[in-house]
Structure 1
Amino acid sequence: MIQYILRRAVQSLIVLLGALLISFVILRVVPGDPALMMLSDLATPEDIERMRAALGVDQSVWLQLGIFLKQVATGDFGMSYRNQVPALDLVLSYLPATFELAVAALGLTIVVSVPLGAYAAVRKGSWVDNMLSGFALIGQSVPVFWLGIMLILVVSVQFRLLPTSGRGGLSHLILPAVTLAAAQVALVSRIMRSSMLEVMRQDYIRTARAKGISEWAVILRHALRNAFAPVVTVLGLQVGTLLGGAIITETVFAWPGAGNLLVNSIGARDYPVVQAMVVISALVFVITNLIVDIIYVLLDPRVTYS
């Protein structure tokens, strides 16, 4: 296991380097000059050139890349062009709100989808199973932004039950978390159902039943743990989806998280902030998948990494 973790650490560094290079290239290819966006329409060509020199974007692309990689190696992503504060500090100040939303959505996904999928598998062909199939189809088809807007119109505007936007207490978190979790619940519940159906056909389940163990004891003690292992893998992959989906959800609900910061920074061509966000997102994704691999071994000792 130690050798596996060390190998994954090396692979993670390669992934992070690739994310850095891709974000660097894409930002430079997209039309737009950060100097022009920071100056008024009355700026002279001399003002623009001085601003470009101050931002360092007047250098060649290769020199900019070298300076950028050197800064990242020392943990310094540079100064935000728009806010004039360290880019990493700015991103870290916005991340708690995004993580709060993502963790709430992930928790809601687990609490709802795992029992629902397991029960639908146990009651295969019942109205619960049919309802789950319909919900999964709708949940994965509805766009996140449309669902968020509909929840605001119905729950907040029509019935005035919850706030329409902003970040505050639990009441502000409910609608964004439900919006972000809806598609994940639909996906994970279907996978949980399929995994449970597969496990319920295994020989050790028939053996447990033959010993006279009650049906619910068989499900809870033998089937559920083994069926949950593939779901853990999917949940790990969905962390990246939750972070990506949070950008849209944060925009709809005016949630003050890193998603809003990223959208505004891309529009302003604030290269340091965008690149810091890309690296942090890649780092979270890599660490999450490593944790998932370790949990998978704990759930199923037959799995080994060499």
Structure 2
Amino acid sequence: MATYLARRLGQALFILLGITLVTYLLLFLLPADPVRQIAGRSATPEVVESIRRQLGLDLPLWQQYLRYLGRLLTGDLGRSYAQKTEVTTLILSRLPATLQLMAGAIAVELLIGLPLGVLAAAKRGRPVDRALMVASLTAVSAPQFVVGILLLYVFAVQLGWFPIGGYGSFSHLVLPALTLGLLGGGWYARMTRSAMLDVLRQDYITTARAKGAGSARILLVHAFRNAALPIIAMIGLDIGIFMSGAVVVESVFGWPGIGQLVWQAIQLVDIPVIVGVTAVAACFIVLGNLMADIAAPFVDPRIKRR
């Protein structure tokens, strides 16, 4: 197990290095100049060059990247050009809200998607199956901002059950999590149905039926457990995706998460914040996948940890 974890961590570090490099290169290919953004339109060339030297932006790109990696190894993500604050401080201030939204959205996805996927597989080819797949396709295809605005209008404006926006209590979390969860729930329903149908065709399911096992036991004990591997992998991906910020949903509901932070940074070409958030999101994606890889052998003992 130790060798397996060490190998996976080595792969994770290599992936993170590649992500930071690609992000750095792409940002420096942008036509916008962050120094001009900071100095303002009326700044003199002398002031612009002075700011450029202070930020180290007069150095060759490879030197800037190596300096960034050196700081990254000590946990220093740099300093925001626009907000004049440490990037680590900015991210940590938004992290609790993002973690809450991530946990709420994943919970909604699973509560919606898994039961519907199992039911659709159990009723394969019947009207219930077709209706559920149409509903899941609709949920997957619906734009998040449209779903968010509709939920706000119905449940916040018309019914007054939830606040229109903001952050701080469970009632603030419900509508943003539901907006994200409806989209993800559609994906989980379709994936669960597909995985369940593959498992239900296996010989051991036929054997279980021949031995007189009930339908519920076959679905929930024999089939669902063996169909859970792609679901676990998808949860690992969702952890990283939501950690990078749900920009649209956070904007609609005024949710002060990492998505808002990175959107503001993109508008201001605040390179340290953009690269810092990308690095943190990449870490969570790798961590989520690592957790999924570790959990998989416990769900399916046929998977060997090599």
| TM-score normalized by the length of structure 1 | 0.94
Q: Does 1:270 align with 2:270?
A: yes
- Mapped partners of 1:62, 1:200: distance in 2: 54
Q: What amino acid is the match of 1:205?
A: I
Deviation at 1:245, TM superposition (A): 6.1
Aligned to 1:101: 101
Deviation at 1:159, TM superposition (A): 3.0
Deviation at 1:145, TM superposition (A): 1.9
Aligned to 1:192: 192
Specify every segment of 5 or more residues in structure 2 that has no aligned partner in the other structure, as ranges. none
Aligned to 2:157: 157
Aligned to 2:285: 285
Identity over aligned residues, as a percent? 40
- Mapped partners of 2:224, 2:269: distance in 1: 48
Deviation at 1:229, TM superposition (A): 2.2
Q: Deviations over 1:167-218 (max 9, x none)?
A: 1211111111111112211111111111112222222222222222322222
Q: After alignment, is 284-293 or 63-72 more displaced?
A: 63-72
Deviation at 1:263, TM superposition (A): 0.8
Give matches, 1:221-260, under 5 Å: 221-244=221-244, 246-260=246-260
CA RMSD in angstroms, aligned pairs only = 1.7
CA contact (8 A) 1:180 1:242 kept: no
In 2 relative to 1, CA 206–23 (structure 1 residues): closer, same or farther, beyond 3 Å? same
CA contact (8 A) 2:80 2:86 kept: yes
Q: After alignment, is 119-128 or 187-196 more displaced?
A: 119-128
Aligned to 2:38: 38
Aligned to 1:47: 47
CA contact (8 A) 1:162 1:171 kept: yes
SS in 2 for 1:24: helix
Deviation at 1:117, TM superposition (A): 0.7
Give matches, 1:102-121, under 5 Å: 102-121=102-121
Q: What amino acid is the match of 1:297?
A: P
CA contact (8 A) 1:133 1:190 kept: yes
Specify every segment of 5 or more residues in structure 1 that has no aligned partner in the other structure, as ranges. none
Q: Does 1:212 align with 2:203?
A: no
Q: Deviations over 1:43-86 (max 9, x none)?
A: 22222222222222222222212211211122212222122222
Aligned to 2:22: 22
- Mapped partners of 2:157, 2:217: distance in 1: 46
- Mapped partners of 1:190, 1:262: distance in 2: 31
CA contact (8 A) 1:20 1:278 kept: yes
Q: After alignment, is 189-198 or 118-127 more displaced?
A: 118-127
| TM-score normalized by the length of structure 2 | 0.94
How many residues of Structure 1 are paired with residues of Structure 2 in the alignment?
Answer: 306
- Mapped partners of 1:30, 1:213: distance in 2: 62
CA contact (8 A) 1:91 1:277 kept: yes
Q: Deviations over 1:102-145 (max 9, x none)?
A: 11100111112111111121122333312211112111211112
SS in 2 for 1:84: coil
Deviation at 1:91, TM superposition (A): 1.0
CA contact (8 A) 1:144 1:245 kept: no
